[in-house]
Structures are given as C-alpha cells and as structure tokens.
Amino acid sequence: MDENIRKVSEELDSAAPGLTHQEAIEAFRIRFLGRKGTVSALFEQLGTVPKEQRGQIGKQLNDLKNKAQGLIDAATAGQQNSVINTRTDLTLPGYPVQFGKLHPLTVVMNEMIEIFRFLGFSVASGPELEHDWYNFEALNFEHDHPARDMQDTYFIDRDLLLRTHTSPVQIRVMESQKPPIRSIMPGRVYRNEAVSARSYCLFHQLEGLLVDKNVSFVDLKTILLAFAREFFGPQTKIKLRPSFFPFTEPSAEVDVSCHLCHGKGCRVCKHTGWLEILGCGMVDPNVLKACNVDPEEYSGYAFGMGIDRIAMMRYGIDDIRLLWDNNQRFLQQF
C-alpha cells in the first residue's frame, strides 16, 4: 500500500507541469480524483489494510488527496490570471492629459503674495507706463540729483516713462486711500540695462507698504522676519545693512541666511552665507507729505524685492534670459 501511494504521488508530480489549460486540468481531476480515479481507488482499498495501520495509511491518503487538489487549485488560479491578461493589458499607458504649468516667476510671486495676504496685506496694482511724478518726484527723487542715475529709465516722452520700480503704486495707493494702509504691489518693471546672463531689461518686483499710527522699524523687521521664515524656511535669519533709497529713511538692505547651506557658505550665496534679497526702510516724510499724509501723525514702512533673482536662486537657474525664452521644455520643469 505504501508503495502504491508513493507511485501515485510521483504520477501527480510528473503530470503537474501539463496543467496549462482548462481541459488538461479537468483530465487531471478525473484521472486522480474522479470517482474511478487512482486516488479514489486507493481509498477503496483502505478497508483491506490491517486495522492497526489504518490510521497512518488514512492520513497518507488524505495528504495525497490534498496534494492533488492543491495542484488543481493552483493551476486553475494561474489559468484565470492568464485569461485576464489576454483580455486587457493593464500595463498599457493611460491616455495622456497634459496640464500646462504656471511660469516659474508666477509661481514664486504667488507664493510671496499668499504669505503677505496671510499677514494682512491686500494686493494693489498700477500702470506700467508712468508719469515722472509717480515714478520719481513724489518718491523724493529730486531733479538733477544723482539718485536719478540709480535706475536707468526708458522714456516715452518728457514726462512718461516705463516704471523703473513698483514704488509708484505706493503713491497711487496713498492717493486713493487713507491710513491705515497695508498693501503689497506686485508687478513688472523696466530698466534700460544691457541684456546678459545676469540682467534683463525688465523684471518683476513685489513692493510692500504699511502706513499707520506708531509704526516703527521694529514692526518692519518683524514682518520681514516673518516673511523670510515662511518663504525660505523656519530657521532663516535676517541681517540688515544701512543703505539708501530716496523714498525711505532710514533705509536698509536685507540679507537672509542662505537656505541651501544655512549660512555655512556655498556657491549660491557666493560663500558668504547670506543672500541679498530686498531693500526696505521707513517711508520718508517727504513721500508722506507728497500724498497729503501728515508725517507727524502717521509713520510707515516700505519694502521691495526682485522676484526674478529670487526665482533664479530657488530653482538654480543661472541665466536670466531663460525666463524670457519661454522654451516649452524649460517651462514644463516648474
């Protein structure tokens, strides 16, 4: 009996590889487990086995039956999978949907605007074609003063020019609203500078203006630090250096600790650990006066930054002209 069981078990093994289609599986089932199958025949012989061996042989027979059934089950499962594969190849690519992307400058600009809106600033805008009064005069740029050389200007006529900064919107906002004023002014500005990898004749700025009672440099520093940490990361530090802008006094340049090396020094920050990103200061009393705001009653701060340079730092873009070439392969990267 042992011998017979072993023989049938070997037959199972040798027949198993042939279970590649439904007919073969059915034939296998009939041959071994059918009413007249070999395994069933062995069960019928169990009665002839001596009583004391019956338990052990019975267990062997059950194992044999389970083995046959296991082979059938496995082959059937495999069969079903292959049936699905011939119906639909799910590895084929999905039908492509190509979204457009925002221009990287818009991405950076939007991110900054959202931070300042969260900090309570509303968005204001103005024309790109400006009068001398708004672009220079009201901003305390005196006539025939070298400060006018700070910004190479494109002129349309004696009075009209392409704005060289977003600061004229400060004047327009102060003309149309009374303090408290809490505005940011994003926009495109123009400088008559030779085009190179490092400079372009137009770029984008984001300007901020707050005018209220009892506004001091502490408030300015506070908002700048809040912005820097939101934009560059929570560990960011800021450093202010005295500088000169005709429309603010005192004025400062603001450096933020390099977000790449965290102040250790790297290629992006030219090994200084700091990135120069914005200019700021307290609104010059002459500017407030030009807008009929009493500088003894109100004070304010203003700040401004160049979006293009910050975007270049963030994305590691080494040639500013790429931003204006609008190569589809470039734009799809952001």
Partner 1 sequence: MKIIYSWLKEFVDFDWSPEELASRLTMTGLEIEGIERVGASFKGVIIGKVVSREKHPNADKLSVCRVDLGDGHPVQIVCGAPNVAAGQTVPVATAGAVLGADFTIKKATIRGQESNGMICSKSELGLEEGKSDGIWVLDESLTAGLDLASVLNIREDYVLEVAITANRGDALSHLGVARDVAALAGKTVRFPDLTVDPKYISKIQSSEKIKIELDSPDQGPVYAGWYLEGVTARPSPEWMQTRITQMGLRPRNILVDVTNYVMMELGQPLHAFDYDRLKSGTIRVKTTGPGPFTTLDSKERQLPDQALMICDGNDPVAVAGIMGGENSEVEDSTSRVLLESAWFNPSSVRKTAKKLGISTDSSYRFERGIDSGLQKTAALRAAKLIVENTGGKMAETPVLAVAKHLIQPELTLRFSQIKRILGIEIPKEKVHQILDSLGFVMIGENQTEMMVRVPAHRPDVTREIDLIEELIRIYGFHHVPEAETVSVSYTAEQKSSYSFDNKLRFMLTGAGFQEILCNSMIPEKDALLVTGKIVPILNPQSEEMGVLRPALAPGMLAIVQKNQNHGITDLRFFELGHCFTSVKSDRYSKIGNHQEEIRIGLMMTGQTVKSTWNSQPESSTLFHLKGTVLAVLDVFRLSEPVTVTAVDSEFYEDCLVLSTGNVQVGHIGKISKKVQSFFGLKQPVFIAELILDSLYSLPKHQPRYQELPKFLPVEKDMAFWVSRSVPAGEMVQSIQETNPGQISQVTVFDVFEDPKNQQNQKSVGFRMTLQNPEKTFTDQEIDGIMTAVRQMMEKKFNASLRGG
Residues 214-273 that bind partner 1 (CB under 8 A): 214, 216-219, 221-223, 225-226, 239-244, 249-253
**Cβ nearer to partner 1, comparing 70 with 127:** 127
Does 171 interact with partner 1 (rule: CB under 8 A)?
no
Q: What is the dihedral of CA 48, 49, 54, 58, to 10 degrees?
A: -70
CA distance 32 to 247: 98
Does 113 interact with partner 1 (rule: CB under 8 A)?
yes
Looking up tokens 């042992």 gives 2
Nearest distance in Å: CB 46, partner 1: 59
Nearest distance in Å: CB 190, partner 1: 8
Does 332 interact with partner 1 (rule: CB under 8 A)?
yes
Nearest distance in Å: CB 271, partner 1: 13
**Cβ nearer to partner 1, comparing 29 with 163:** 163
CA distance 19 to 56: 30
**Cβ nearer to partner 1, comparing 7 with 270:** 270
- Build a one-symbol-per-residue string for 134-153: x at contacts with partner 1 by CB under 8 A, - elsewhere: ---------xxxxx-xx---
Question: Per CB under 8 A, which of residues 73..92 are in contact with partner 1?
Answer: 92
Going by DSSP bridges, is the β-strand pair 299-306/129-131 parallel, antiparallel, or unpaired? unpaired
Angle, CA 44 vertex, CA 61 and CA 66 arms, to 5°: 25
Going by DSSP bridges, is the β-strand pair 181-190/122-123 parallel, antiparallel, or unpaired? parallel
Read off the DSSP letter of residue 94: P
Question: Per CB under 8 A, which of residues 28..47 are in contact with partner 1?
Answer: none
Question: Per CB under 8 A, which of residues 301..320 are in contact with partner 1?
Answer: none
Angle, CA 73 vertex, CA 69 and CA 75 arms, to 5°: 115
Does 106 interact with partner 1 (rule: CB under 8 A)?
yes
**Cβ nearer to partner 1, comparing 19 with 283:** 283
**Cβ nearer to partner 1, comparing 98 with 292:** 98
- CB neighbour burial string for 41-73, b if at least 16 within 10 angstroms, e if fewer: ebeeeeeeeeeeeeeebeebbeebbebbeebbe
Nearest distance in Å: CB 35, partner 1: 50
**Cβ nearer to partner 1, comparing 85 with 122:** 122
From candidates 5, 15, 115, 119, binder to partner 1 by CB under 8 A: 119
Find the part of the chain contacting partner 1 (CB under 8 A) among 33-41, 43-51, 75-83, 112-120: 112-120
Residue type, 80: Q
Query: Which pair of structure tokens corresponds to residue 284?
Result: 């010059």
From candidates 108, 139, 209, 282, binder to partner 1 by CB under 8 A: 282
Beta carbons of 128 and 156 less than 8 angstroms apart: no
Residue type, 117: R
CA distance 308 to 211: 27
**Residues binding partner 1: what is the number (CB under 8 A)?**
89
From candidates 29, 165, 182, 259, binder to partner 1 by CB under 8 A: 182
Question: Per CB under 8 A, which of residues 189..208 are in contact with partner 1?
Answer: 190, 192, 194-195, 201-202
Beta carbons within 10 angstroms of residue 259's beta carbon: 18
Nearest distance in Å: CB 125, partner 1: 7
Nearest distance in Å: CB 230, partner 1: 11
Question: Alpha helices, DSSP H only, in the chain?
Answer: 2-15, 22-33, 38-45, 51-87, 104-118, 132-135, 168-176, 217-232, 285-290, 307-315, 322-325, 328-331
Does 299 interact with partner 1 (rule: CB under 8 A)?
yes
From candidates 20, 78, 155, 233, binder to partner 1 by CB under 8 A: 155
